[in-house]
Chain A
Amino acid sequence: MPYLGSFALLLALALSVYSLVAGVLAISGRCPPRTAELLGETARRAGIAVFMAVLVAAAALLWSTFHDDFSVSYILHHSNRDLSAPYKFAVLWSGQEGSLLFWALLLSAYGFVLRLRHKVDVRLVAHASVILAAVQVFFLLLLNVAALPFAMEPGPPPADGNGLNPLLQYAEMVIHPPMLYLGYVGMTVPFAFALGALIMRYPGEKWIHITRRWTMVTWLFLTCGIFLGAHWAYSVLGWGGYWGWDPVENASLMPWLTATAFLHSVMMQEKRGMMKVWNVWLIFTTFMLSILGTFLTRSGVVSSVHAFAQSSIGWWFGGLLIATAVVCVFFFVKNRSHLKSENKLESLLSRESSFLFNNLVFLASCFAVLWGTLFPLLSEAVQGEKVTVGPPFFNRVNVPIALFLLLLTGVGPLLAWRKTSWESLKRNFAIPAGAAVLTAVFLIVGGVRPWHDPATFYSTMAISLAALVAATIGSEFLRGARVIRGHTGQSLAAAMLRLTQRNTRRYGGYIVHFGVVVIAIGLAGAAFNKEKEQELGNGDKMMIGAYTLVCRSYTQDDNRNFSSEWAILDVYKGDRQIGTVFPERRFYKASQQPSTIVANLSGLKEDLYLVYAGKNNDTDRPIIKAHVNPLVAWIWIGVLVIVFGTFVALAPNAAAVKVTQPARVQTAAVEAGD
């Protein structure tokens, strides 16, 4: 089977090269039309066949994993006989070579879908297809030359493998990396469309319509991937947090920020024919940031806890990054006259300006993350000594920027296209601003002291601004729904549903914004975290916040994959027992590595997060680390809201509503919005 996999990869490379060369010839205009048409069609079919070949290679690697073929070096180092079936799937992306094969598989799958749907615009897809083929050639070259997934071990195969990294032996790890990769790799498609449209000087904005859906889908994958990673870190790493500003985390956040900026600014191009240069470069930057992140984390240039993926192949990505930048700059300089704006910004108080500022804030945040990630290198070059740039830096720099962004999220929808009068803004802004002030007062009366420390101040600001945004969204829904109710006589809820169906993109977007509000509240809770560490013998008590933990017992177990020890703790809130929990520590035999299984009692108000931190060697009693983390569940709920909102935004608009009865009440005239 490994030989079949190797052959499939070689075949895929040959097909990709053909797809690229034939595709270039077909679109270059140097062949007779009939020849160009035939070449283009064979290039498209070769592109489709690449997917089949890479699929066979990936299946071969999985087959070898499930059959414990430890003659394959990759499987020897990332699997073992006692690994359960779902985690054997995760072996595919748990190491360098496998993850690159997975990347190539997803890229070819995206290409497969794109080429099957070529009739949407044959010429544009042909251009995009060539760019996808070029990227595909890079990955297949890497897999055939520098990172061989089917490299064989010298000598007879060992009896068992080294096992999967214990940190990856968690249910979410079977989903998180594929989601993240779907996001990363998916950004290649809008990039291919944008570059293709620039190369062919594509008339009109149709490419934007095609690209927008691709970008939204891949943005959703990236969003889910990032938050699944955060949830995994929270559930597995056992340090009580969900985001550590590690370079690998930063690498996933940066393209997300620029892709989010693009999803906003693209509306300017669709509605007003503006910001064409900006949009093209946002797409280019998003793709390049995906590559940069991969370069940084796989080259070892910056140190990361995700060290499993460091090797010399990082420099290949450096090369790809430079080549991409050169190609983008070349075609931009050559065809920039095609990107002239059709309109100009007319006022600082307009929807266009709010999009412009929103984009600047996203880019500033992206720059701050990139700057913090690279500053240790700069410091070493200038001062001769590396410095650490960790969470305190990123939090202090990014939180104010994020708060400004949250404010814009609330203000933006209140502004009309082209120009908004101060009177109109004041009228629309009064309720949201009032909600923000009331929330701040409510928090202070409830005992929050924003002047106590910066974290509390930022939390108060975040929750108040979240109220502002929620009020804006609510008023937008209400305003529209009242108009529909006035004409159809439907209930307010039914009118809101109808409103959303009629303009899924706009109101789906508002639902996504509401998800962001919920997440912001969840993140704000971090300012009020509590933690405590204590040794607990049988019957000992530990108090944290409103909780009392009583150690009922502690014990241990052993199976073929890992040995474990855990504590049995009864949890009381006041006098009432609310549960029994089992924080656990495992030791995986094959990899000789420990892992934490956190016990988490999660509620809307707070999480009681318990970690079995090990045993005191002198007393042989377990050490329990307890955290009370307020509002964390809101983050995960917010993500679900975002997913729902994105699905709504992706759905097609419903047909216009028929008027069933004459207008009865003419209510609030809508002055803002589109």
Chain B
Amino acid sequence: MKWPAKRIAQACSVPLLIILLMGAGDDARFDRLGHKMICACGCRQILLECNHVGCQYSDRMRGELSTWLARGDSDDLVLQAFMQKYGQTVLAAPTTSGFNRVAWVTPFAVFLAGIALAIFVVLRWRSLPQAAASPSVQALDNYRQQARKETAEL
């Protein structure tokens, strides 16, 4: 029996969705969102990791996070609410919109550009005429093997 591609995709996506959504309760959301923000006390620590004695902010912010989650708001809305109250610096990482996107894109762009440049350089060098003709790869392997055998007296 031939299964249509659409049916296969549906069959695969259902268990995948179940697995992805498993355990995505309020505790998991609290943990996830609490790790996306930093404590506003100035310690620069992740909200759920701030452990200052008598910190005036972390307990209150955790309480606020629980309240927002209990209201059933989406993750984006919760983060927006925190940004409105504490400023953009409450987020532990730049957003992926506007100029902040540059923060995310640049390291990978530089990395890929570097790799591309390296490949280009190797290929260009390879195309240049050599002073003496190089033996073939297979010949090199054979020479290497022979040299090892002959120098194996150690």
Q: Which residues of A contact B (CB under 8 A)?
A: 237-241, 244, 246, 303-305, 344-348, 353, 356-357, 360-361, 363-364, 367-368, 371-372, 375, 379, 382-383, 385-393, 396-397, 401, 416, 418-421, 424, 449, 451-452, 483-484, 486-488, 502, 531, 585, 594, 596, 611, 613-614, 625, 656-657, 659, 663, 666, 669-671
Contact pick for A659, options B114, B128, B138, B153, CB 8 Å: B153
Could you give, for residues 120-154 of chain B, a 1 whenever the CB lies within 8 Å of some chain A CB and a 0 otherwise? 01110110101000100110110011001100111
Contacts A/B (CB < 8 Å), 26 sampled: A244-B44, A344-B125, A347-B126, A348-B119, A353-B118, A356-B118, A363-B114, A364-B114, A367-B107, A368-B111, A375-B103, A379-B100, A383-B98, A387-B91, A387-B94, A388-B88, A392-B36, A393-B104, A396-B104, A401-B107, A419-B137, A451-B16, A451-B19, A487-B153, A585-B53, A594-B53
User: In the assembled complex, which residues on chain B have CB atoms less than 8 Å from the CB atom of A238?
Assistant: 51
Let me know if B16 and A421 touch, CB within 8 A. no
Q: How many residues of B contact A (CB 8 A)?
A: 58
Are the C-beta atoms of A364 and B111 separated by less than 8 Å? yes
Q: Name which residue of chain A comes closest to B90, CB basis.
A: A388
Q: Which residues of B contact A663 (CB under 8 A)?
A: 152
Are B35 and A392 in contact, with the CB atoms below 8 A?
yes
Contact residues in B for A596 (Cβ distance below 8 Å): 51
Known: A239-B50, A396-B104, A585-B53. 6 other contacts (CB 8 A): A346-B134, A356-B118, A385-B87, A388-B93, A397-B104, A486-B152
* A656-B51 Cα distance, complex, nearest whole Å: 58
A390 touches B44 (CB 8 A): yes
Q: State whether the Cβ of B38 lies closer than 8 Å to any Cβ in chain A.
A: yes
Q: Decide if B89 touches A388 in the complex (CB within 8 Å).
A: yes
Whether A502 and B110, one on each chain, are in contact in the complex, defined by CB atoms closer than 8 angstroms, is no
Across the interface, which residues of A come within 8 angstroms of B119, CB to CB?
A: 348
Chain B residue nearest to A390 in the complex (CB): B92
Answer whether residue B54 sits at the interface, using C-beta atoms and an 8 A cutoff. yes
Minimal Cβ-Cβ distance residue in A for B54: A614
Distance in Å: Cβ of B122 to nearest Cβ of chain A: 5
- Nearest opposing residue in chain B for A396, CB measure: B93
Count of chain A to chain B residue pairs whose CB atoms are closer than 8 Å in the complex: 172
Closest-CB distance, B17 to chain A (whole angstroms) = 11
Q: Considering the chains assembled together, what is the distance between the CA atoms of A416 and B44 in angstroms?
A: 47
In the complex, the answer to whether A345 meets B51 with C-beta atoms within 8 Å is no
A669 near B148 with CB under 8 A, answer yes
> Are B93 and A389 touching (Cβ within 8 A)?
yes
CB pair A303 B154 closer than 8 Å = no
How far, in Å, is A398 (CB) from chain B's closest CB?
8
Most buried by A among B45, B126, B134, B154: B154
- B49 within 8 Å of A (CB atoms): yes
Cβ-defined contact, A244 with B107, below 8 A? no
Given contacts A375-B103, A379-B94, A383-B99, contact A360 B154 (CB under 8 A): no
**Contacts A388-B91, A487-B152, A669-B149 known; A613 to B141 CB distance under 8 Å?**
no
Complex CA–CA separation, A386 to B50 (angstroms):
21
Is B115 part of the contact surface with A, judged by Cβ < 8 Å? Answer: yes
| B54 and A385 contact, CB distance less than 8 A | no
A397 touches B44 (CB 8 A): no
Minimum Cβ distance to chain B for residue A600 (Å): 15
C-alpha spacing A379/B122, complex, angstroms? 37
Closest chain-A Cβ to B125's Cβ sits at a distance in Å of 4
A79 vs chain B, min Cβ distance (A): 24
Most chain A C-beta atoms within 10 Å of own C-beta, residue among B43, B53, B88, B128: B53
The 8 Å CB contact of B130, one of A344, A356, A669, is A344
Option from B49, B114, B130, B144 in Cβ contact (under 8 Å) with A360: B114
Lowest 9 A-B CB distances belong to which pairs? Answer: A368-B107, A364-B111, A390-B92, A393-B93, A392-B93, A239-B49, A344-B125, A421-B137, A657-B154
Please name all residues of chain A whose beta carbon is closer than 8 Å to the beta carbon of B89 when the two chains form the complex.
386-388
Chain A's nearest CB lies how many Å from the CB of B132?
11
Separation of A238 and B137 alpha carbons in the complex (Å): 56
Residues in B neighbouring A585, C-beta threshold 8 A: 53
Of all chain B residues, which has the CB nearest A361?
Answer: B111
Given A305-B43, A375-B103, A611-B51 contact (CB < 8 Å):
yes
* Minimal Cβ-Cβ distance residue in B for A394: B93
Closest to A239 in B: B49
Q: How far apart are the CA atoms of A388 and B36 in the complex, in Å?
A: 11
Q: Is B20 at the interface (CB under 8 A from chain A)?
A: yes
Report the nearest A residue to B123, measured CB to CB: A348
| Smallest CB gap from A416: residue in B | B144
CB distance from B145 to the nearest CB of A (A): 5
Contact A372 B103 (CB under 8 A): yes
Contact A671–B144 (Cβ < 8 Å): yes
| Interface contact A371-B106, CB-CB below 8 Å | yes
For residue B76, give the distance in angstroms from its CB to the closest CB of chain A: 16
The answer to whether the Cβ of B3 comes within 8 Å of any Cβ in the partner chain is no
- B46 at the A interface (CB under 8 A): yes
Given A418-B140, A451-B19, answer yes or no on A385-B88 (Cβ-Cβ < 8 Å).
yes
Q: Are A305 and B107 in contact (CB under 8 A)?
A: no
Please name all residues of chain A whose beta carbon is closer than 8 Å to the beta carbon of B138 when the two chains form the complex: 421
Say yes or no: B91 contacts A659, CB within 8 Å: no
Interface centre among B16, B54, B121, B140 (most CB of A within 10 A): B140
Whether the Cβ atoms of A484 and B108 lie closer than 8 Å is no
Q: Determine how close the nearest CB of chain A comes to the CB of B30; give it in whole angstroms.
A: 12
B51–A379 contact, CB under 8 A?
no
Bound form: Cα–Cα A372–B43 in Å: 18
Measured between beta carbons, the chain B residues less than 8 angstroms from A246 are: 44
B contact residues around A483 at 8 Å (CB):
148, 152
Residues of A within 8 A of B48 (CB): 531
Q: Across the interface, do B103 and A424 meet the contact criterion of CB distance under 8 Å?
A: no
A627 to chain B, nearest CB (A): 10
Q: Give complex CA distance A387, B90 in Å.
A: 8
Contact A613–B51 (Cβ < 8 Å): yes
Tell me whether A240 and B49 are in contact (CB under 8 A): yes
A416 & B93 in contact (Cβ 8 Å cutoff): no
Which residue of A is nearest B44, CB measured? A305
In chain B between 74 and 91, which residues have their CB closer than 8 angstroms to a CB of chain A? Answer: 87-91
How far does the alpha carbon of A387 sit from the alpha carbon of B19 in the complex, in Å?
34
Q: Are B44 and A344 in contact (CB under 8 A)?
A: no
Q: A367-B110, A596-B51 are in contact. Are A390 and B38 (CB under 8 A)?
A: yes
Give the CA-CA distance A177 to B94 in the complex, in Å.
Answer: 31
Task: Report yes or no: A391 in contact with B92, Cβ–Cβ below 8 A.
Answer: yes
CB closest chain-A residue, reference B87: A385
| Bound form: Cα–Cα A360–B90 in Å | 33
**Chain B residues positioned under 8 Å from A625 (CB to CB):** 51
Given contacts A364-B114, A379-B99, A421-B138, contact A388 B92 (CB under 8 A): yes
Shortest beta-carbon distance from B147 to chain A in Å: 10
Contacts of A368 in B (CB 8 A): 107, 110-111
